[in-house]
Amino acid sequence: MSLLKNIHGPDDLKRLSPEQFPALCQELREQIIGVVSNVGGHLASNLGVIELTVALHYLLNPPKDKIVWDTSNQAYAHKLLTGRREQFHTLRQYGGLSGFTKREESVYDTFNAGHAGTGVSAAYGMVEAREQLKQRHKVVCIVGDGAMTAGMTLEGLHHAGGLGKDFLVILNDNQMSISKNVGAISSYLNRTFTGEFYAKMREETGQLLGKIPHIGSDVQKWARRAEELAKGAILPGLLFEELGFRYAGPIDGHNFEHLLPTLDNALKMKGPVLLHVITKKGLGYEPAVKNPVWFHACPPFVRETGAPAKKAARPSYTQIAIESLVKLARVDKRIVAITAAMCEGTGLNIFEKEFPDRIYDVGIAEQHAVTFAAGLATQGLRPVVVMYATFLQRAYDQVVHDVATQNLPVTFCIDRGGLVAEDGTTHHGAFDFAYLRHMPNMVVMAPKDENELQHMLTTCIQYDGPASVRYPRGLTLGVTMDQEAKALPIGKAELLRHGTDVAIVAIGVPVSHAVTAAKRLEQEGISTAVVNARFVKPLDQDLIVEVAKRVRYVVTVEEGCKMGGFGSAVLEALSDGGVTHVTTKILGLPDWYVEQGPQDFLRERYGLTAEGIYQSVKELIGKTPASSRDVFTLAASIDHLPHGDEQGS
């Protein structure tokens, strides 16, 4: 009989006995593997925290007690235990459950997160809010070992440890194994160290030593130091103790006999506590155990074998970008690559195989990655920072202060630019055009296809200043590749089609859609020019103004936010060029956080396909009366959702 089907919330879990938990965990694993094999998602990390998730919901009283998942891509079991089992098949689908925690989705989700390193700071904010409001409840943050490389995590630990309020941080360590002997010894020690008797004895002994005249405080410090040394000989927790946390661990995160009593004791302890739990990524599904990197965030796969459900027909933009970088690095020894814990995701494992001594993985530390690159550049190297658009946001000040102000030759390969589909609001690369184009010295590019991508990468490397090239998630168009990549003239666009009625000025992926739309418009007697801008900055004002002076309508297209983005740059260029007779429209992403959904579906929804561009041009022409088409009207038509409809449903 299914245990999971009878659990509609944590209260139902509490009716089970701990002896039933292994069977429940097996059901949770089956459910997660079944759904993720169909829709894709974060599999390995979720399979690794199932026992920990069950233990937390059994011992705590959420939603009164607050559980904060750092990154939150490992919260699938949490969703299944908090009333979302019947919706779980909609995971990461349009209108379905988010792949991350989402406050709008459930009262059990305390914080929205898709970037690592936010958990400790957010959770400690909840701790201090509890103190300010004079409430009594537990706050627990689960943070992965990878997120411990994020400077923000250490900042949060430093703050929390210094103020000394009740707060439990669980370090979910899935990168190191734990043997049976170490597990047994560690479990015994930590049941002792976290027990009420030991804690009370430790406190009373400290008070007694402190009362000894003249030397009491010194003896107290010596006793404390002796305890640290004794624990340090067998436990790796001195760093956390120095930050003000009581350290306990490591313990086996899959053994309820160890996990439940130690976690229960840790929850009863006063002050900041860090519990170190060892888990195994992919546990319960052998393909994920053998290849946890691929199954960290995987597409749909064949459950029986673990093989991808579909084989890619063409290479991805990511693959083309890194293969082009490898070709350049063979010739130019100054090139080094930098990633922030995303070697496989960004394709840099291809680079690493050929140049293992010329790649740096700095961990989840985007700020350090950018300033580190700046330091390399000052000494004559050509560093290439390869990062998702959504993660480069985290290093905004470093790009401004440490790279752009010094005009250093750092290349930014911005992967996942634009819509990224099922990962949703926290991962769409919507803002990079806007947040990069206003930086002095910065060159901002986006290719129309994979062939142009290789030329743009060469342009970046040869440019003596900061330059970025942005490319999308997904497969390339399949165009013919030039044998030799050459640098493009900085700031020069490309006129793909002449026209006298409408000009479509596009950049990146939408260029091919713009060409298709223009051909259809031509068939209806609407002469349509198409400009492949290539550069957001410096924009080719001369060409755009020249084309705009020959038409009555100008439509810009970008897979980025309309506010302050590429389209805004074109309007500025038209204004500076004295073009006042055209009617304009900006096509791009709206002023809200775009929901999750298939990439093609979202492009269609926001009018960024050939059909969408065609319809927008027709609408623009149809809205303007013939008698007023020659009136000097420079106006951007930017549509908004109705008030309150953030999901656009």
- Dist CA 239 CA 148 (whole Å): 12
Point out the residues of the chain with pLDDT beneath 70: 175-236, 623-649
What pLDDT sits at residue 525?
95
Tell me yes or no: is domain 494-637 CATH 3.40.50.970: no
What pLDDT sits at residue 196?
62
Whether 366 is a known active-site residue: answer yes
- The CATH architecture assigned to 317-470 reads 3-Layer(aba) Sandwich (3.40)
- DSSP assignments along 29-86, one per residue: HHHHHHHHHHH-B--HHHHHTHHHHHHHHHHS-TTTSEEEESS-TT-HHHHHHTT-TT
**Selected catalytic residue, list 51, 352, 366, 559:** 366
Decide: helix, strand or coil at residue 246: strand
Rounded to two decimals, what is the model's pTM? 0.84
- Dist CA 153 CA 159 (whole Å): 10
Ramachandran assignment for 306, one of left (phi > 0), alpha (psi -120 to 50 degrees), beta (any other): left
What pLDDT sits at residue 411?
98
What pLDDT sits at residue 242?
83
**Selected catalytic residue, list 246, 394, 448, 470:** 394
End-to-end CA gap in the chain: 38
241-268: per-residue pLDDT in tens? 888 999 988 899 999 999 999 999 999 9
Q: Which H or E run contains 188?
A: helix 180-193
Tell me yes or no: is domain 4-195+236-290 CATH 3.40.50.970: yes
Amino acid letter for position 290: K
DSSP state of 166: S
How far from 78 is each of 4, 375, 399, CA to CA, in Å?
12, 42, 37
Cβ-Cβ contacts under 8 Å for 228 (sequence gap 6 or more): 238, 241
Handedness of CA 610, 612, 615, 620 (dihedral sign): negative
Q: How many CB atoms lie within 10 A of CB 139?
A: 25
Classify residue 406 by burial, with Cβ atoms within 10 Å: 0-12, 13-18, 19+. Answer: middle
Q: How many CB atoms lie within 10 A of CB 81?
A: 27
What pLDDT sits at residue 191?
58
Say if strands 494-497 and 535-537 run parallel, antiparallel, or are unpaired.
Answer: unpaired
562 φ/ψ angles, rounded to the nearest 5 degrees:
-70, -35
Domain edges within the chain:
4-195+236-290, 317-470, 494-637
What pLDDT sits at residue 249?
82
601-623: per-residue pLDDT in tens? 999 999 999 999 999 999 999 85
What pLDDT sits at residue 645?
32
**Selected catalytic residue, list 191, 280, 281, 416:** 281
Whether 394 is a known active-site residue: answer yes
What pLDDT sits at residue 203?
61
Topology alike, domains 317-470 and 494-637: yes
Task: Please check whether residue 347 is in contact with residue 318, taking contact to mean a CB–CB distance below 8 angstroms.
Answer: yes
Whether 281 is a known active-site residue: answer yes
